[in-house]
């Protein structure tokens, strides 16, 4: 087999192994092997509880690593090896790990570290990520913060580990705003709620006296825009999270809804409905101007900015049924991108810009799907009686959505990886819908 043919062979992904035999080749004596298969499963990783000098610190250190473990396992890309299998204790681990002990349990990576109290409410945290088989440190970081924020520090550790081992940005130090629901369907009580990405630090932001819908978090994570039912027409409100203060965005002639922030936070897309026609407007928070972007005598709603702010995907029935379209940020160059059978809605442009997630309704079933911004490569990730409202994790690889179970009438939040694997329910105190995933907290 000549080199040429062999190369062609490899190029086709068919070659499995070969040995070079050309005398002129300096590497001719080398055995060459092509590896074309492997284990595709979560990476086994060991997370040693962070060491603390006192019993109290030790338990906090353990709790922190539990948070890290839940984050990493929740991604579906890691399998945290049971701590009972660990040979080295956290205390012993203060030095360079005895890698042999960790190879023994096939930990491909190891995280260890320690915490120390600093003053009344201070907390110093150090951690290191090791490549067990290479015997090298991959990352080592220190955080100093408030003890009360230990969960956030843990999420940051998880983000660093995730990033170093997957090459993708992490997404654990982020929050979710959503609508909490209670009561019978005919008189559903809805409240604005917010929580950490993993469900911790949950709190309600409104009391349920008003019907509220479709919250969206500002890129800076400090404000939330949402729809409030009021007379004479529902309007978009903006709430400052730190002060709890809220204001109506503007009093428009008809109903204003579907708020979406621009990537820079300076503009807001929304829909204004009047006389049976719904159009998308860009609202400048500085000039307070609303500029009309669509003019079709049809429903145009659910806009979503591309991450560069240059384009907008939206939902319209101008063609006779609800479909997805894209246009320039100024409303020009409109093009339809959904062509499959069924109805489409609630597009959400990935923060990476490479995909648009959407809700698809077909044959009486709902799906969450993704497609490229030009409409190609459509893939449906879920299927159920009612899945809707996709929102992206900060790194653009996980989608959260709400699902209603017709049997129990419960509505819950779920996440799924863009590969279509790892569907998981997100725990919330009550029923939940309309999730919106914040960028990484900064």
284-323 residues in contact with another protein (CB under 8 A) are 285, 288-290, 292, 299, 301-302, 315, 317, 321-322
The single-letter DSSP state of residue 148 is: G
* Angstrom distance (rounded) from CA 218 to CA 265: 6
User: Which residues lie closer than 8 Å to 50 by C-beta, 6 or more apart?
Assistant: 60, 61, 62, 64, 65, 90, 112, 113, 114, 115, 125, 127
| 201 part of the interface to another protein, by CB under 8 A | yes
Burial profile 121-155: b = 16 or more Cβ within 10 angstroms, e = fewer:
eebebbbbbbebeeeeebeeeebebebeebbbbbb
Instruction: Please give the Cα distance from 46 to 428 (Å, whole number).
Output: 28
Please report whether residue 6 would count as binding another protein according to CB under 8 A.
yes
Instruction: Kindly write out the interface string for residues 114-153 of this chain, putting x where it contacts another protein by CB under 8 A and - elsewhere.
Output: x---xxxxx--xx-x--x-xxxxxxxxxxxxxx-xx--xx
Q: How far apart are CA 140 and CA 158, in angstroms?
A: 13
Task: Compute the distance between CA of residue 304 and CA of residue 315 in angstroms, rounded to an integer.
Answer: 9
Contact flag: residue 231 with another protein (CB under 8 A)? yes
Say if CB 282 and CB 271 are below 8 A apart.
no
Closer residue to another protein in complex, CB, 140/309: 140
CB of 59 to another protein, least distance (A): 20
Contact with another protein (CB under 8 A): which of 272, 327, 334, 432? Answer: 272
Among 233, 263, 318, 340, binds another protein (CB under 8 A): 233
Pattern 409-428, another protein, x by CB under 8 A: x---------x-xxxx----
Of the residues 64, 77, 111, 326, which one makes contact with another protein according to CB under 8 A: 77
CA distance 264 to 357: 21
Angle between helices 55-74 and 150-166 (to 10 degrees): 40
Q: Smallest distance from the beta carbon of 155 to another protein, in angstroms?
A: 10
- From 55-63, 72-80, 305-313, 328-336, give the range in contact with another protein by CB under 8 A: 72-80
Told to check if 165 binds another protein by CB under 8 A, we report yes
From the CB of 234, what's the least distance to another protein, in Å?
Answer: 7
Query: Could you say which of 195, 293, 326, 334 contacts another protein (CB under 8 A)?
Result: 195
Query: CA 411, 414, 419: angle at the middle one, nearest 5?
Result: 145
Contact 48, 90 (CB under 8 A): yes
Residues 6 or more apart from 313 whose CB is under 8 A from it? 303, 304, 306, 324, 325, 326, 337, 347, 349, 356, 373
Touching another protein, residues 25-64 (CB under 8 A):
27-44
Give the 3-state secondary structure of residue 389.
Answer: strand
Which among 61-69, 270-278, 328-336, 370-378 is the span making contact with another protein, rule CB under 8 A?
Answer: 270-278
Q: By CB under 8 A, which span of 63-71, 186-194, 305-313, 374-382 interacts with another protein?
A: 186-194
> Of 53-61, 199-207, 327-335, 369-377, which part binds another protein (CB under 8 A)?
199-207
Site for another protein in 335-364 (CB under 8 A): 343, 345-346, 359, 361, 364
């Amino acid at each position: 087999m000549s080199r040429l043919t062999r190369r062609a062979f490899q190029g086709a992904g068919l070659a499995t192994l070969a040995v070079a035999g050309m005398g002129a080749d300096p590497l001719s004596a080398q055995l060459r092997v092509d590896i074309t298969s492997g284990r595709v499963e979560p990476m086994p990783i060991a997370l040693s509880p962070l060491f603390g000098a006192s019993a109290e610190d030790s338990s906090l250190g353990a709790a922190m690593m539990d948070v890290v473990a839940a984050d990493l396992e929740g991604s579906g890309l890691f399998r945290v090896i049971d701590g009972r299998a660990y040979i080295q204790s956290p205390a012993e681990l203060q030095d360079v790990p005895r890698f042999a002990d960790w190879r023994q349990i096939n930990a491909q990576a190891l995280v260890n570290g320690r915490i120390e109290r600093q003053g009344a409410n201070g907390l110093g945290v150090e951690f290191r990520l090791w490549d067990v088989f290479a015997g090298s440190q991959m990352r080592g970081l220190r955080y100093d913060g408030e003890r009360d924020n230990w969960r956030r520090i843990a999420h940051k550790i998880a983000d660093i580990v995730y990033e170093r081992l997957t090459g993708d940005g992490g997404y654990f130090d982020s929050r979710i705003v959503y609508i909490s629901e209670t009561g019978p369907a005919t008189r559903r009580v809805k409240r604005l709620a917010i929580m950490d990405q993993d469900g911790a630090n949950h709190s309600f932001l409104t009391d349920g006296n008003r019907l509220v819908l479709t919250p969206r978090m500002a890129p800076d994570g400090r404000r939330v825009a949402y729809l409030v039912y009021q007379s004479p027409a529902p309007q978009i409100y903006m709430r400052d999270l730190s002060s709890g203060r809220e204001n109506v965005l503007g009093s428009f002639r008809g109903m204003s809804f579907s708020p979406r922030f621009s990537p820079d936070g300076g503009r807001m897309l929304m829909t204004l409905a009047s006389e049976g026609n719904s159009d998308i407007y860009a609202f400048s928070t500085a000039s307070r101007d609303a500029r009309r972007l669509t003019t079709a005598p049809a429903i145009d709603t659910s806009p979503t900015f591309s991450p560069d702010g240059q384009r907008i995907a939206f939902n319209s029935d101008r063609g006779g049924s609800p479909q997805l379209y894209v246009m320039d940020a100024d409303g020009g160059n409109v093009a339809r991108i959904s062509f499959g059978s069924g109805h489409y809605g609630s597009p959400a442009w990935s923060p990476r810009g490479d995909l648009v997630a959407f809700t698809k309704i077909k044959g009486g079933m709902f799906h969450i799907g993704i497609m490229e911004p030009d409409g190609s490569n459509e893939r449906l990730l879920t299927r159920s009686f009612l899945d809707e409202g996709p929102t992206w994790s900060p790194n653009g690889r996980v989608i959260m959505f709400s699902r209603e179970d017709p049997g129990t009438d419960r509505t819950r939040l779920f996440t799924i990886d863009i590969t279509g694997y790892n569907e998981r329910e997100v725990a919330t105190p009550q029923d939940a819908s309309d999730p919106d995933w914040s960028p990484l907290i900064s």
